[in-house]
Structure 1
Amino acid sequence: MRRVFLGNFDFEHQLTREVYAATGGATPALNLNLASCWLGMAADGDQIYLPGSVSADYITHLQSAGLPKVELIADWPERDAAAQMTFVPWGWSQATAKLAQSQGFTVTAPDLAAVKTVNSRSFSFACESVWGLSLPGSCRVESLTELEAAVAELPRGQEKVETAWVLKADFSMSARERMLGRGTLVATQVRDWAQKRFACQQPLFLEPWVQRTAEAGLQFEIPQQGEPEFVGLALLRCDDRGQYRGSRICVDAQTQETWQPAIEVGQCVAERVQHAAYFGPLGIDAMQYRDARGELQCRPIQDINARYTMGRLALGFARFLKPEQVASWLHFPWKESYGQPFSKWLKCVADMQKSSTRFIATSPDQINGQALRLVNVLLISETTEELYQAEETLMRAVSTLAETAC
């Protein structure tokens, strides 16, 4: 059955509005900019909802690159056609379920209360606590008094070095809905932010800030009946603020073995998620870090996402690889002030490299005549060494462009 994909990438904002009864949040531009990311999951004949004008050259480019022949739609199908299609959102919220039903799609969605439960930090914190996996000093707080006491009691690092920490909301994502702090006191800005959430009867979660060395997205599929399926592992690339900047979608046996303990914990999480009445895609972010003694540790449950994730979409590109090929899917900001189309600039970077790595733009240059603020590219290499080199070449070129455009 043909599918139509809705990129409600503001999913957590939708949940936040439902929980906090708050206005605002992500703008429609976010969903518009990221709509083409569904290429990782889409097949020939599928539709991607993208309510804007995109050049026909973009579709031609995708086909010439060997990517699926999809249809970008700005309007929903007629009800008779919609009834014959599978509706696939980034995540199931109340707003998304109502939209699907109003447009005539046959909806097979998990219980929406279960979606909210599993996506909350309360759920992941409970998993960590029950299995003894919490970071030292991590705790749930429900008032300013509890917050101040917890910060004051955080384990100290080296002498004369203030302890860094992060305070997270019950619903947060990609370095949003969180505040950073340092030392034993809670700054006014953090207090004000926390108080608003406490006023809505929402807990917050305090964690020490640790020295991250590597992150991975563990991807599962939770069926309505039967055992949860481990789909694969995608190594994450994040910036210094913890925001997602891409996934390496092919890992060797040694890397798989390194993350195997996290995968085993992830399987337990998947079973617990299924028991909570959720079914569908599940992504679990795991992290390797160094503790205060400099020893390498693993945090297998950093985040639980009962929805699609960029890592899951990235894994979808693996079907276009030949045996032994490896790939990465990278994301980075783009600006109109750079003065040239993204695809043209990318071709120049690809032509200057010394390897045979393919650089494939997976996002269009413009939507409605405006340059995208976030672009993405698929790198396909013959060897891991070539892939690493291509990643560094591209990221250096991005940095140079940003510096020279200032």
Structure 2
Amino acid sequence: MPRFFYGNFDFEHQLASEAYGTAMGAASSLTTSLASCWLGLVEDDDQIYLPAAIPREFTAELQTSGFPRVHFTSDWPAPDTARSLTFTPWGWSAAMSQLAQSKGFSVETPNLTAVRTVNARAFSFQLETEWGLALPGSQQVGNLESLERALKALPDSADSAWVLKANFSMSARERMCGRGKQLTEPVRGWAAKRLAQGQPLLLEPWVERISEAGLQFQIPVRGEPTFVGLAVLLNDARGQYRGSRIHVDESTLQEWQPALEVAQRVARAVQQAGYTGPLGIDAMQYRDADGQIRFRPLQDLNARYTMGRLALGFQRFLAAGEVASWLHFPWKESYGIDFSNWLRCVASQIPAGNRLQGTSPDRIDGQCPRLASVLLIAGNQADLQTGEATLTDAHAKLNQTTG
């Protein structure tokens, strides 16, 4: 049955509801600007909801490049048509269930209580604590007084860095970073607002990140969770997602084997909590205060689709022996150039044999999208990493010279 993809990319805010939900305008903007990210999963005759106009040239180029025959639509289907489509959101929430039913889709949701439970940071922190995996000094706090005590109990120096995360958060959002043993007024105000809504906060020491990977699973109603694959996460200095390296080799899988073993335990725990559907688990390698490289196998738990899961879908476009990265770049009107034209300009700078396939439109309702994406394909890992660095450096220079 064809699918109807809907990008409620503000999913965590929907779960948090009135505690610190985003405005509808922001949610609508995310649904529009990130809609093309679904291209990693689409098959022939699937539909992607994108409530805006995009250039016909974009979909024509996708067809020429061998992508499935997908339809971007700004309209909801008629009820008779809706019943013949599988409604597929980024993540299931009560709001998504109500929306799908109101549009005439036949909906089978996972247990929505379980969805909210397992997506809360309190759930993954409980697993980390029970299994002895939490970062030293990490604590869950329920009021300002316990937060102040937790800060004073953090290891290392009085000037050590830390991060305070909301119970529902994602991609370096809904968090505050600090240093030392005292709360600043901005952090205190941010924390007080969320604590007043009955939401716990999670305090963690800041650690030196070396690398990260997203471990993707599918959780069935019955039977063992299925491991879908691993994608190396490419994040910026702030920890925000900037891409995934896919089609990893056996040595990379072996490197992340300790995290994978924990992830399989996590997948079973999520299933036992009542959740079914896509699951992404982010793991991290970091350097501790003594210079030792360690794993944090349960850094984030996302019971929904993830960018890493979508990235793995692009593997089907690779020839034998090829490797790829799906890269995302913040884009601005002030750059004065469309993303596809910029790709043509920088194509000559990447290793010979590398290929670039844009996966986002140049314009959405006549405006450049705030995030542009490209699939970079190479014949080997060395050329792939050179291509990644070349594109990242070229974008940094463009940002510096044009603002």
The corresponding residue for 1:123 is 123
Cα distance in 2 for partners of 1:350, 1:240 equals 25
Matched, 1:256 2:243: no
Letter in 1 for 2:225: P
Report the alpha carbon displacement of residue 27 of structure 1 after superposing the two structures with TM.
3.6
1:342-361 correspondence to structure 2 within 5 Å? 342-361=339-358
Relative to structure 2, which stretch is displaced further, 7-16 or 230-239?
A: 7-16
Matched, 1:186 2:180: no
The corresponding residue for 2:392 is 395
Residue deviations 1:293-313 (CA, integer Å, cap 9, x gap): 000000000010000000000
Q: Secondary structure at the match of 2:66?
A: coil
The corresponding residue for 1:24 is 23
Cα distance in 2 for partners of 1:21, 1:128 equals 25
Cα distance in 1 for partners of 2:361, 2:189 equals 40
The corresponding residue for 2:195 is 198
Residue deviations 1:7-60 (CA, integer Å, cap 9, x gap): 111111211225x17562734111111000000000111100001101110011
Contact 2:14-2:21 at 8 Å conserved across structures: no
The corresponding residue for 2:85 is 85
The corresponding residue for 2:238 is 241
Contact 2:231-2:245 at 8 Å conserved across structures: yes
Cα distance in 2 for partners of 1:368, 1:34 equals 14
Contact 2:13-2:20 at 8 Å conserved across structures: no
Matched, 1:322 2:319: yes
Cα distance in 2 for partners of 1:303, 1:8 equals 19
The corresponding residue for 1:213 is 210
Q: Secondary structure at the match of 1:173?
A: coil
Letter in 2 for 1:150: A
Contact 2:10-2:22 at 8 Å conserved across structures: no
Relative to structure 2, which stretch is displaced further, 282-291 or 100-109?
A: 100-109
Cα distance in 2 for partners of 1:301, 1:204 equals 17
Q: Secondary structure at the match of 1:81?
A: helix
Residue deviations 1:292-343 (CA, integer Å, cap 9, x gap): 0000000000010000000000000001111110000000100111111110
Matched, 1:281 2:270: no
Paired residues, number: 402
Cα distance in 2 for partners of 1:65, 1:81 equals 29
CA RMSD of the aligned region, Å?
A: 1.1
The corresponding residue for 2:310 is 313
Matched, 1:270 2:262: no
Cα distance in 2 for partners of 1:86, 1:327 equals 29
Cα distance in 2 for partners of 1:353, 1:167 equals 39
Report the alpha carbon displacement of residue 361 of structure 1 after superposing the two structures with TM.
0.6
Residue deviations 1:149-204 (CA, integer Å, cap 9, x gap): 110110015xxx71100011110111111111101111111111111111111111
Report the alpha carbon displacement of residue 351 of structure 1 after superposing the two structures with TM.
2.9
The corresponding residue for 2:58 is 58
Q: Secondary structure at the match of 1:371?
A: coil
Cα distance in 1 for partners of 2:230, 2:351 equals 29
Residue deviations 1:211-258 (CA, integer Å, cap 9, x gap): 000000000000111110000000000011110000001211111001
Contact 2:51-2:73 at 8 Å conserved across structures: yes
Residue deviations 1:111-142 (CA, integer Å, cap 9, x gap): 11111000000100011011000000001111
- Residues 1:405 and 1:27: Cα distance change in structure 2 (over 3 Å): same
The corresponding residue for 1:174 is 171
The corresponding residue for 1:94 is 94
Matched, 1:300 2:312: no
Residue deviations 1:74-132 (CA, integer Å, cap 9, x gap): 11111111111111100001111111111111111101111100000010001101100
The corresponding residue for 2:380 is 383
Unaligned stretches of 5+ residues in structure 1 = none
Letter in 2 for 1:186: L
Cα distance in 2 for partners of 1:219, 1:211 equals 24
The corresponding residue for 2:49 is 49
Matched, 1:370 2:367: yes
Q: Secondary structure at the match of 1:176?
A: coil
The corresponding residue for 2:103 is 103
Letter in 1 for 2:293: L
Cα distance in 1 for partners of 2:20, 2:213 equals 33
Contact 2:13-2:21 at 8 Å conserved across structures: no
The corresponding residue for 1:14 is 14
Q: Which TM-score applies when normalising by structure 2?
A: 0.98
Q: Secondary structure at the match of 2:44?
A: coil
Cα distance in 2 for partners of 1:100, 1:148 equals 43
Cα distance in 2 for partners of 1:277, 1:115 equals 8
Report the alpha carbon displacement of residue 353 of structure 1 after superposing the two structures with TM.
2.9
- Residues 1:176 and 1:21: Cα distance change in structure 2 (over 3 Å): closer
The corresponding residue for 1:290 is 287
Cα distance in 2 for partners of 1:225, 1:69 equals 33
Matched, 1:135 2:135: yes
Letter in 2 for 1:167: L
Matched, 1:144 2:163: no
- Residues 1:35 and 1:112: Cα distance change in structure 2 (over 3 Å): same
Q: Secondary structure at the match of 2:315?
A: helix
Letter in 1 for 2:84: Q
Cα distance in 1 for partners of 2:181, 2:207 equals 16
Letter in 1 for 2:91: G
Cα distance in 1 for partners of 2:43, 2:248 equals 24
Letter in 2 for 1:241: R
